[in-house]
A and B are shown apart, each in its own frame.
Chain A
Amino acid sequence: MNTNLKNNPKNKYADDEMETVIARERARAKARRILKAKELASRLLPQIDGSNLIIRFNAKERIHHFVLIFSFTTLGFTGLMQTCSSWFPVAWVINVILGGVDTLRVIHHLAAIVFAIQTILHGFDILAHWFVKKDPGSMMPVWSDLTGLIGMVKYNLGFAKSRPEFDRFSIEEKLEYWALWWGAIVMGLTGILQWFPSLATQILPGIIIPAARLIHMLEAILAVLAIAIWHSYHTMVKERNYSIFNGMMPEHEMKEAHPLEYRRIIAARDFLTNTKNQPTQVEEIEAEKVEETEEIEVIRRPHPEMIKDELAEA
């Protein structure tokens, strides 16, 4: 019996209750560990040749990326065509193939709506992750990203012997992701301002419209160049990474690009295969409970009001 816990003034449990509580919480902790391990290990797909494929993206994420390809490309093409519409081949395409600049604008607006909707949906997804699941998510920038970036540059320059090890997302991928957020917000805001200029100037100064127009154009150039250079290099030139399309990554690639995550998955599999880690009967019951409620009960800290008398005595 934990004497510390017993003497803790905040402990509202009676002495005889303590042992059951501790046992239950231990069981639950183990159950959670098993659940987590199961979840991780389930991403390992054994192949006939003995290697493994590792599931990297789920269906939702993949569909998201497909729609993004469509909307981003359409926006990029139709937008830049408007920028250089005075150049005769572009003018020809607009007038002859698309049937006029009005059609081009309608396409641009439709693609913008699709882009905005999926950005907003994704935004809600993230918020749910942060505030409901209380999980910062694997895209969240952390300090190790900075060391990772420095490590990469060092290794590439030959000052380090090995590449820094990355988790689920490398620094390159994180940069890309947050650049996309920046671009989406800037382009979205400036686009809306241009779409409804008279509404915008009801409250904002008039200069906002030409400013929005200028930023929209320059940011578009930046975004398209970033995708064309950065994204295509890291996903198509460096190595052909199809994981966003088929959802899976071969083990050897995973080992190299995301070693931390790979090792966690392997560790989870090993954890589950170890007989020592098989859950007891009590633990299984608790695991079911955890699975049902998804709520993790800890020794709750009682509200000071509840233990006012005890505190006064102490």
Chain B
Amino acid sequence: MPNNTPRFLIILLFIVMGMVFLMQANATIAHADGSVFLAIDTPSPTTTETAVTATPQVSPVPTLADSPHAAENNCMMCHSNPDFYGTFENQESVSLYVNQTELNMSIHADAGLNCEACHTNISAYPHTEKQQLDCTTCHPESGGSIDTKFVSLVVELPYVDKRAMILDINDKCRTCHEEEYKSTDGSAHEKVFQSGNTAAPMCVDCHGGHNTIKPGTPRTVIVDICGKCHESVYTSYEVSVHGDTLIRDPANLDVPTCIECHGVHSVRGPRQVTFRGDSIVTCGGCHGNKQLMEKYDISTDVFNTYLGDYHGRTVNLFQEAGKTSSNKATCYDCHGIHNIRRPNDSLSSVYPANLQHTCQQCHTDASIRFPQAWLSHTEISWEKTPTLFLIKAAYVFLLIPGTIGAFIIYIALDARRRWLDKRSIVLKAIEEDSDEYEFEK
């Protein structure tokens, strides 16, 4: 191994160099397309870094108007500097570095949007009066540094704090995404914001700023994003049947992430009035779908039998009325919420051994025999519930048709006879009557 170490390092160096080259090539391709996110108006079509370092073409007496800085494409001249910071009014500091690679990979870059699309209030340099940087910072002719890329820059920002800046920029999403913006009305997050908590998640908190990617690619990103704040939920989801499947196969489109149940922009809190009742439709949406469930060998009877039973019938009626939910069990009351496991998993709340405890959550006096009353979401069949099958068969094929059939036959005979009796009386009367008119014959 020690012999190999230098060779290893060389290979590593090559790989790093190759990656750098690829990134540069990426930027170049974007430029050639004309859909570049950050077109750097420089003589050489290479990266921002080189462009900045090789910018000796500034006129000796620059005015702001014809300064190349006035052009929109020069943002990265400063913002590609990893050592670029801004300070807020509360002395909080924030990095103003923008990662070119991330930017290029973002969905907005693909759409051909430039910085100004979102940063609408910034179209020229200086952005505000406060932000003046001395020309000499960069320009060697004026006594600045040659290597401006790593020159440390600090500007003052016209915001109280970082959050104020984020909220301001967040509002710009609305320009294009009005529909999504509106759909957050009444959402759980929006309510938190309305209550005065500015830490409530806004667009950029979930979607990211410069690194916005196409939502749900891969789908694990969704749970990761939600998990950033909802940590405990994430940890229980992670080990659930849904979470486990998703993490193992992020390409699986069937398994629900957070948003399939809670919604995306209109995300609903579980304490919302109708959430509980609607949850059966949420679960039933997939678990009542035969095509979907066939793939995983899960019976769709689970939903039908639930609706046919005490709990489901009540909850369903409440749900249809859109009322505050009943106290009857919904799917998640028995199966667990984020930590749903397979019924044959010994940690599952519906594992046979744990069932009594689960029932006791509501039926406090449930005995060991009580869970036997539950038919495990199965329809009545000879194989699984022979007693019930026989009872049903006896009633459906014997008692009801036998009794009612006998009744009907008896009644039919009786009615016929009564009609015949009445008719014979009438006929007899006519017969007697007709004797009086013999001339008719």
Interface residues of A (CB under 8 A from B): 82, 85-86, 91, 94-96, 100-102, 152-153, 155-158, 197-199, 201-202, 204-211, 214-215, 218-219, 221-222, 225-226, 229-230, 233, 237-238
Contact = CB atoms under 8 A, between A and B. Distances in A.
Interface string B26-55: 000000000000000000000000000000
B414 interface: yes
Nearest to A91: B320
B375 A210 contact: yes
Given A211-B391, A215-B395, 15 more contacts: A86-B307, A86-B313, A94-B317, A95-B321, A101-B317, A153-B413, A197-B373, A201-B366, A206-B369, A207-B372, A214-B388, A214-B391, A218-B399, A219-B395, A233-B415
Contacts of B415: 233, 237-238
Contacts of B243: none
Chain A facing B: main interface SS? helix
A95 B319 CA distance: 10
A188 B326 CA distance: 26
Interface residues of B, number: 43
Interface of B: 307, 313-314, 316-318, 320-321, 323, 326, 363, 365-367, 369-375, 380, 385, 387-388, 391-392, 395-396, 399-400, 403-404, 407-408, 410-411, 413-418
Contacts of A206: 369-374
A201 B385 CA distance: 18
Given A85-B313, A95-B321, A238 B387 contact: no
A85 B415 CA distance: 36
A221 B313 CA distance: 19
Chain B facing A: main interface SS? helix
Contact of A214 (B372, B392, B410, B411): B392
A202 B367 contact: yes
Contact of A101 (B314, B367, B373, B408): B314
Given A85-B313, A100-B318, A229-B408, A207 B400 contact: no
A211 B407 contact: no
Contact of A199 (B365, B375, B388): B365
Contact of B320 (A95, A157, A221, A222): A95
A94 B317 CA distance: 8
A155 B410 CA distance: 11
Given A94-B317, A197-B363, A218-B400, A208 B373 contact: yes
A222 B400 contact: yes
Given A86-B307, A100-B317, A100-B321, A201 B414 contact: no
